[in-house]
Amino acid sequence: MKTAALFIIVASELLLAISAHSGDACIPKDSHVKALSYPNDIPGVLLEVLTNHVGEIAPPRGMFNPSDVIRKGIPDRRVMFVWNRGTRYVIASEHGGIGYNNPIFLYEVDQKNNTATLISEQIADSDAAICKLSNSLIMSK
Protein backbone atom coordinates (compact mmCIF):
# COMPACT_ATOMS: atom_id res chain seq x y z
CA MET A 1 0.00 0.00 0.00
CA LYS A 2 2.80 2.43 0.89
CA THR A 3 4.61 1.55 -2.34
CA ALA A 4 1.51 2.36 -4.41
CA ALA A 5 1.03 5.68 -2.59
CA LEU A 6 4.69 6.57 -3.11
CA PHE A 7 4.42 5.69 -6.80
CA ILE A 8 1.38 7.97 -7.18
CA ILE A 9 3.22 10.83 -5.45
CA VAL A 10 6.32 10.43 -7.61
CA ALA A 11 4.28 10.08 -10.82
CA SER A 12 2.22 13.18 -10.07
CA GLU A 13 5.40 15.13 -9.25
CA LEU A 14 6.94 14.12 -12.60
CA LEU A 15 3.81 15.03 -14.55
CA LEU A 16 3.61 18.42 -12.89
CA ALA A 17 7.30 19.07 -13.51
CA ILE A 18 6.90 18.18 -17.17
CA SER A 19 3.81 20.37 -17.57
CA ALA A 20 5.21 23.33 -15.62
CA HIS A 21 5.49 26.50 -17.64
CA SER A 22 8.93 27.99 -18.03
CA GLY A 23 7.36 31.33 -18.93
CA ASP A 24 9.76 31.82 -21.85
CA ALA A 25 7.22 30.67 -24.41
CA CYS A 26 4.66 33.28 -23.46
CA ILE A 27 6.79 36.26 -22.45
CA PRO A 28 5.61 39.45 -24.20
CA LYS A 29 7.73 40.35 -27.23
CA ASP A 30 9.33 43.80 -27.64
CA SER A 31 8.10 44.96 -24.27
CA HIS A 32 11.22 45.21 -22.08
CA VAL A 33 10.01 42.22 -20.05
CA LYS A 34 12.82 40.01 -18.74
CA ALA A 35 12.51 36.43 -17.51
CA LEU A 36 14.39 36.06 -14.23
CA SER A 37 15.87 33.10 -12.40
CA TYR A 38 14.17 32.32 -9.08
CA PRO A 39 15.48 32.91 -6.46
CA ASN A 40 18.89 34.13 -7.73
CA ASP A 41 17.74 37.18 -9.74
CA ILE A 42 14.98 38.31 -7.37
CA PRO A 43 15.52 41.33 -5.09
CA GLY A 44 15.92 40.23 -1.47
CA VAL A 45 13.05 42.43 -0.28
CA LEU A 46 10.70 40.76 -2.78
CA LEU A 47 11.75 37.27 -1.63
CA GLU A 48 11.09 38.29 1.96
CA VAL A 49 7.68 39.82 1.25
CA LEU A 50 6.62 36.86 -0.92
CA THR A 51 7.65 34.36 1.76
CA ASN A 52 5.79 36.34 4.43
CA HIS A 53 2.71 36.36 2.19
CA VAL A 54 2.55 32.70 1.07
CA GLY A 55 5.12 30.80 3.15
CA GLU A 56 7.89 28.63 1.78
CA ILE A 57 7.81 28.32 -1.99
CA ALA A 58 9.87 25.90 -4.09
CA PRO A 59 11.87 27.06 -7.14
CA PRO A 60 10.80 26.07 -10.67
CA ARG A 61 10.99 22.31 -11.13
CA GLY A 62 11.63 21.97 -7.38
CA MET A 63 9.77 19.47 -5.25
CA PHE A 64 6.46 20.59 -3.74
CA ASN A 65 3.24 19.01 -2.51
CA PRO A 66 0.98 19.19 -5.59
CA SER A 67 -1.97 17.35 -4.06
CA ASP A 68 -3.61 16.82 -0.70
CA VAL A 69 -0.97 14.19 0.16
CA ILE A 70 1.29 16.11 2.53
CA ARG A 71 4.99 15.31 2.73
CA LYS A 72 6.62 16.99 5.72
CA GLY A 73 9.33 19.52 4.99
CA ILE A 74 8.18 20.09 1.39
CA PRO A 75 6.33 23.31 0.49
CA ASP A 76 2.84 23.29 -1.00
CA ARG A 77 3.77 26.03 -3.48
CA ARG A 78 6.19 26.27 -6.39
CA VAL A 79 7.28 29.16 -8.62
CA MET A 80 6.62 28.58 -12.31
CA PHE A 81 8.35 31.70 -13.63
CA VAL A 82 9.23 35.30 -12.73
CA TRP A 83 9.14 38.27 -15.07
CA ASN A 84 10.38 41.80 -14.53
CA ARG A 85 9.48 45.04 -16.30
CA GLY A 86 10.90 48.16 -14.71
CA THR A 87 9.87 48.10 -11.04
CA ARG A 88 7.16 45.46 -11.53
CA TYR A 89 7.53 41.73 -11.01
CA VAL A 90 5.11 38.97 -11.97
CA ILE A 91 5.47 35.69 -10.12
CA ALA A 92 3.47 32.81 -11.57
CA SER A 93 3.10 29.91 -9.18
CA GLU A 94 1.48 26.59 -8.40
CA HIS A 95 -0.43 25.98 -5.17
CA GLY A 96 -0.97 22.33 -4.30
CA GLY A 97 -3.82 20.76 -2.38
CA ILE A 98 -7.29 19.44 -3.08
CA GLY A 99 -7.99 22.69 -4.91
CA TYR A 100 -4.74 22.86 -6.92
CA ASN A 101 -4.53 26.32 -8.52
CA ASN A 102 -2.19 28.83 -10.14
CA PRO A 103 -1.85 32.12 -8.25
CA ILE A 104 -0.21 34.94 -10.20
CA PHE A 105 1.25 37.79 -8.13
CA LEU A 106 2.15 41.30 -9.27
CA TYR A 107 4.57 43.22 -7.03
CA GLU A 108 5.95 46.75 -7.22
CA VAL A 109 9.53 46.90 -5.92
CA ASP A 110 11.20 50.10 -4.76
CA GLN A 111 14.83 49.10 -4.28
CA LYS A 112 15.80 52.61 -3.16
CA ASN A 113 13.45 52.38 -0.16
CA ASN A 114 13.81 48.58 0.11
CA THR A 115 10.06 47.88 -0.21
CA ALA A 116 7.95 45.42 -2.17
CA THR A 117 4.19 45.94 -2.40
CA LEU A 118 1.65 43.38 -3.58
CA ILE A 119 -0.39 45.10 -6.30
CA SER A 120 -2.50 42.16 -7.45
CA GLU A 121 -3.06 38.48 -6.75
CA GLN A 122 -5.17 36.55 -9.23
CA ILE A 123 -5.86 32.88 -9.91
CA ALA A 124 -5.40 31.51 -13.42
CA ASP A 125 -8.17 29.02 -14.13
CA SER A 126 -6.37 27.08 -16.88
CA ASP A 127 -2.90 26.55 -18.34
CA ALA A 128 -3.70 28.96 -21.17
CA ALA A 129 -4.83 31.57 -18.65
CA ILE A 130 -1.43 31.51 -16.89
CA CYS A 131 0.27 33.23 -19.84
CA LYS A 132 -2.66 35.51 -20.63
CA LEU A 133 -3.03 36.70 -17.03
CA SER A 134 0.73 37.09 -16.53
CA ASN A 135 0.97 39.16 -19.72
CA SER A 136 -1.94 41.36 -18.65
CA LEU A 137 -0.43 41.98 -15.21
CA ILE A 138 3.14 42.73 -16.33
CA MET A 139 1.93 45.14 -19.04
CA SER A 140 -0.45 47.02 -16.71
CA LYS A 141 0.39 50.47 -15.33
Q: Residue 23: its pLDDT value, please?
A: 80
Give the contacts of 102 (CB within 8 A, at least 6 positions apart): 80, 92, 93, 94, 95, 123, 124, 129, 130
Total-model pTM: 0.83
pLDDT tens, position by position, 31-60: 799 999 999 999 999 999 999 999 999 999
C-alpha torsion sign, points 39, 43, 48, 52: negative
For the cut 60, the answer to whether the pLDDT of residue 10 exceeds it is no
DSSP 79: E
Percent of the chain with pLDDT over 70: 84
pLDDT band at residue 28 using 50, 70 and 90 as cut-offs: confident
